[in-house]
Structure 1
Amino acid sequence: MPKMSDVAKLAGVSTATVSRVLRNPDTVTPSTKEKVLEAINQLNYQPNMLARHFRRTETNTILVLVPNISNTVFSEIVGGIEEEAAQNGYRVLLRNTNNQLENEYASIEHLKQRQVDGMIMLSPKLDEETLIEISHQYPIVLATAHLETPTIPFVSIDNVRSSEKATEHLIRLGHRRVAHISGPMYSLISRNRYEGYQNAMKNHGLNPEDKFVREGEFTYESGYEHMLDLLSQKEVPTAIYAASDDMAIGAINAANELGVKVPEDLAVVGFDNIKFASMFNPSLTTIAQPLHGMGQRSMELLLKKLNGEAISQTEHVLPDKLIIRDSCGAKHKEKLLPM
């Protein structure tokens, strides 16, 4: 049985274009529409029953759940989702759940009542069993999220390895007392980043001591408060790896308040590469996530589900990059220590 991808290949267009011809033909140029319709007729392509069902009840709207809209990480991902959605004739309905589980449950009603065609969830708090149950009934995709047993399409980076990379950078600069401010441990992302920190420390013969670890909330305030606490100890860290840029910036400001200079007295590495990271003083060394690309890929996967296309893999891990700036003090070193 021919698939949408076969039609796209024969017509020399993308599957998204084929989808637009089927759903919103007025958004496609007459010549392109003619090529696609000719390929459909030649292959005798018939959209499957699931795709037909969604076309009968379509709203051309998708729902995006965001745990904290003030977090620039999520806003950049949403930007990628909206761009891809608009190119395919979809509107985006945004809901800020404020990290409240009941708000995530309430949002499922939009799917049940057919007010939206599908949903992208950014870092959901719902348990894995519930997420899988929902995915059996409605088209959903996860972004910046992992499952212990991936059965739902998700887009993310390798949070374990990226955290190893961030921590190893500080160790190679000569630091041995490296502290870590994690995200909330109910989140698998936070646990993965903590695991990466532990791995790097152990791989270099260092003990990731509890006194140098604090559980934050991915917020500026939690980074600030935990840095004050870490610097109040008898033995203080010489470097800090924070699991978000917001927490890293909070930590730097707390250190400055106590007269601890960054990077001269304290090296700092963050995570996310938010836009403000390069403008902050000192500019922030961080792990860059392809946020806009993650949003685009999430929407691409949801479009496939809406079109009834098979998705060959559930895990879509995009590349990250360590961005070295002033806050870690690397520019003050002649060279990194050998690994």
Structure 2
Amino acid sequence: MARQPGRPTVYDVAERAGVSIATVSFTFRQPDRVRESTRDAVLVAARELGYVPNASARGLAHGRTGALGLYSFDLLLAERQRGADEADRIRDGLPPDDVDPDAETVDPRAFPLYVDEVQRGFELECWQRDQALLLTSGTGSGASVTDVAGRVDGLALFPGPTHVDTLEQVARRIPVVAFSMPDVADGLHHVTVDNQGGTRDLVEHLVGVHGIRDLGFVGRLSTPDYAERFAGFAAALGDLGLPVPAEPLDPTDLGEPGRFAALTDLLDADRLPRALVCASDQIALAVLDLLAARGVPVPERVVVTGFDGILAGRLARPTLTTVRQPMARMGRLAVEILVRHAGGAGGDRESHRLPTRLVPRQSCGCSPA
């Protein structure tokens, strides 16, 4: 089969990495079958050449798949991998490590639930445009993302562990929309929300309406959205003449063990602040569970707020005060961008920061909204 001039192929990658084309194929499609050092060599060669595998192009002479992709990160894949590792340990005669990947103790709130609502907007816009859609998830490895990119004409994805070099490489071939990621000169299109402004509105409401002057922030700042929300939290406190913390009160990550260690210590010492401003609704819902288990009334003793506006916040008891981001609109906008830029005809990259809306409810002492 004749190669397209100027376009790197699997043969080019194999030659540069010093491996067979079968090894290149396995690296992108079944990376667990390739030794780590070999896999790294193949990925480096692919990145240097600007190669992205295109599974659909074999049957499409025009080089278009007719589909858009939406990629998210399955946070329980790590649990399933540990389960697979346990099977290997048993096979090798080693003691198991007591990990059950299907255990009901896995907290579903470790998943980014706002992804569901963004995805719904993405799906609705594709449906209205009669646009094919590929939904997929993975661990965020470079191989898994580039493999998906080879199957679609445009790709949207959520924040995760994928290295920016991989995304830049993919963006040279197809348009890529990044949700809720820092807008830097990376060749990607960006859709995010006014995280700082939304958190400012929330803090001003707690201080101005409820007279609260003792507030703490809960959430780890390694997530870009959370870092922006903390920046808005700190700026609002400073503008209101209140003490500005240098870091969160509790840097909890729901996806990791040992969460809420700082809050638990404060509970034990009866030193909780009057309000806990959580980086997301998911964190806030988990905080409500923690306080309920310890008999701490909300909002009478402690006010708890979130950010995102997911449906679960309306169903909580008390209902959750939050900052609503327009998640469905984010998904729809991503489709519009990908369609505009499909085939490289859309011009310069786009960056959109959508407004947020404060939604006061019972958890801060307001009536349900």
Aligned counterparts of 2:61 and 2:340: Cα–Cα separation in 1: 13
Out of 183, 201, 217, the residue aligned to residue 180 of structure 1 is 217
Contact 2:198 2:323 in 1 (8 A): yes
**Alpha-carbon deviations, 1:126-162, whole Å to 9, x = none?**
3444433431232211122222446421111111111
TM-align CA RMSD? 2.8
Letter in 1 for 2:310: I
Contact 2:180 2:224 in 1 (8 A): no
Aligned counterparts of 1:131 and 1:215: Cα–Cα separation in 2: 28
* 1:263–1:115 Cα change, 3 Å: same
Listed as ranges, the matches of 1:239-318 within 5 Å are 239-311=275-347, 314-318=350-354
Aligned counterparts of 1:197 and 1:222: Cα–Cα separation in 2: 24
2:66 pairs with 1:60: yes
Contact 2:195 2:356 in 1 (8 A): no
Which shifted more, 135-144 or 76-85? Answer: 135-144
Equivalent position of 1:134 in the other structure = 170
Listed as ranges, the matches of 1:228-239 within 5 Å are 228-233=264-269, 235-239=271-275
Out of 99, 119, 143, the residue aligned to residue 78 of structure 1 is 119
* 1:71–1:299 Cα change, 3 Å: same
* 1:317–1:271 Cα change, 3 Å: same
2:235 pairs with 1:194: no
Structure 1 stretches of 5 or more lacking a match?
1-52, 333-339
Contact 2:252 2:260 in 1 (8 A): no
Aligned counterparts of 1:73 and 1:267: Cα–Cα separation in 2: 22
Structure 2 stretches of 5 or more lacking a match?
1-56, 76-110
**CA positional deviation for 1:240:** 0.5
TM-score if structure 1 supplies the norm length?
0.72
Letter in 1 for 2:69: L
**Alpha-carbon deviations, 1:51-104, whole Å to 9, x = none?**
xx998122222221112484321011111111112222322222223xx442x5
TM-score if structure 2 supplies the norm length?
0.67
**CA positional deviation for 1:274:** 0.7
Aligned counterparts of 1:145 and 1:55: Cα–Cα separation in 2: 34
Which shifted more, 287-296 or 229-238? Answer: 229-238
Contact 1:77 1:295 in 2 (8 A): yes
**Alpha-carbon deviations, 1:195-239, whole Å to 9, x = none?**
111111111122233586222225698876554344234632110
* 1:221–1:242 Cα change, 3 Å: farther
Aligned counterparts of 1:115 and 1:191: Cα–Cα separation in 2: 33
* 1:55–1:119 Cα change, 3 Å: farther
Aligned counterparts of 1:223 and 1:329: Cα–Cα separation in 2: 26
Aligned counterparts of 1:297 and 1:231: Cα–Cα separation in 2: 43
Aligned counterparts of 2:278 and 2:304: Cα–Cα separation in 1: 8
Equivalent position of 2:129 in the other structure = 88
